[in-house]
Structure 1
Amino acid sequence: MTLPARLAETLRQPATLVIAVSGGVDSLCLSAVAAIARRGMDLTLCHAVSPAVPKAATTRVRAFAASRDLALKIVDAGEFADGRYRANPVNRCYFCKSNLYGMLTRLGAGSAVAAGTNLDDLGDYRPGLQAAKEHGILHPFVEARMDKADIRALARVLDLGDIADLPASPCLASRVETGLRVEPAELAMIDAVETALRASLGEITLRCRRLRTGLAIEIDQALLEQFDADRLAELTALARKASSPLGGGDLAITLRPYRRGSAFLHA
């Protein structure tokens, strides 16, 4: 198989390599390429688990590593012990990634650490990229001048199946409105609601936002407009049933079109 030359070259350079794997298409595709490019060389995948990581993502990472016989370490980055992260300021991601990358560089003991950052990520406000810079994290897709569409196309070439079409799904903490404290119980509620709705709707772009006013269920506008009143009521009931055992019984629930980053309140 012919890999993108610059990408393969970047991945072969370190003597030892750790890849931070979230469970999304970017990091899994990067891992698949690294497994080919670095055949016979040291490679370890690291997946951080915490209340902010959907259970489905961890299950996907475990299955991916097992199917390719790749070394996988499941770790706790420790961000929930960081009060700055839990306070959910506008730069919350900086504290999350600082904890993650600091732990991975210590764990790797001199290994290079790579992440699935791509060109599209550079045009957005991502304080986590500052943390990556401070810890010397490699961005092979950026080096290879690849964006999200390029990565999805490569994932199909690599025969990664459904992974190639996974909708973007940032950590669960990104669903909590800026300034609201990040609480594990509420993240569990968000995950439960999204899991219940995806069981009904499939792997679509979907967010359950925790706002000061309650819960906002966001679905791609074109799909949302296809639903009649009965279907909207059914989805609201599903969200209520999933959220109630986890503290959401009294929260207002609204359905609205998906808007990227709508829980993030800019200064």
Structure 2
Amino acid sequence: MTEQALARVLATCRPAAVALSGGVDSMTLAHVAHRVLGGDVTMFHAASAAVPADAGGRIAEHAARHGWRLRVVDAGELADERYLANPANRCFFCKTNLYGTLGGLTTARLLSGTNLDDLGDWRPGLRAADDHGVRHPFVEAGMTKADVRAVARDLGLHDLAELPAAPCLASRVETGIRILPGSLRAIDAVESLLRDTLRPATVRCRQRAEGLVVELDPATLARLDGPRRAALARTIDDDLGLTVDRFTAYERGSAFLREPADG
């Protein structure tokens, strides 16, 4: 039923442009849009130091395998001082740059992978989407994150269906600490090393005022006694030249420190 509802929504979006981040939501939307709209949809990916390297690779691989029309662009957020200052509403400036760039490249209807669950959070990026007339087909079809994953499974996209949540790398930087491309690449490198080493359910490398903090899901963290944590920290130092201040339990959004402004 959800797939049929989504197809009906997408049929009203012709021609369409899907903004791809490489996560399960936007990737699943791209697959369904390609099936429904065929040549009337183009996928856009904004390459940036804020995007995990494996996400960009995933997009390129799916586009090649499934014959998507894909355009890779620079949205310019890393040249925007408002974004680089990393205020509480950083996402507004990120999405303003993204949708402004895409709007200058295409007259097609811009589509995002936002789902119903996203509406329960404070998301400044959604205000930017509203400003640019972006449509959210999953929301219009009444779909939650679980529904999106179910559609991915139904389509045989099991690699996508089981993808853990992976917000942009800038979300790992504590509010108020300046966003630097080098810092984002370092964060990605640490997370990649730990995924390969530990196979954790969740890993976040946070840039906090006291230094780099690695957050892991409780089950993975419980496997790491003091000596193993010290050994991992040495590996990160030896391989990447980075110092981890501490390992701790994953806490969603822990790098976000300020309350949202009124309105």
For normalisation by structure 2, the TM-score amounts to 0.94
Alignment of 1:60-209 (within 5 A): 60-108=58-106, 110-202=107-199, 204-209=201-206
Counterpart Cα distance in 1 of 2:2 and 2:257: 40
* Aligned match of 1:257: 249
* Aligned match of 1:59: 57
Change (3 A) 1:190 1:242: farther
> What SS is found at the alignment partner of 2:110?
strand
Counterpart Cα distance in 2 of 1:179 and 1:242: 28
Decide whether the 8 Å contact of 1:196 with 1:238 is kept in 2: no
| Larger deviation, residues 42-51 vs 6-15 | 6-15
Structure 2: stretches of 5+ with no match in the other structure: none
Q: Deviations 1:127-176 (Å, cap 9, x if unpaired)?
A: 00000000011100001111111111111111112211111111111100
Structure 1: stretches of 5+ with no match in the other structure: none
Q: Deviations 1:206-264 (Å, cap 9, x if unpaired)?
A: 100000100110011122113333332232223323441xxx3xx45210010111001
* Aligned match of 2:29: 30
Let me know the Cα RMSD of the aligned residues: 1.4
**How many matched pairs?**
259
Counterpart Cα distance in 1 of 2:90 and 2:128: 11
| Larger deviation, residues 86-95 vs 232-241 | 232-241
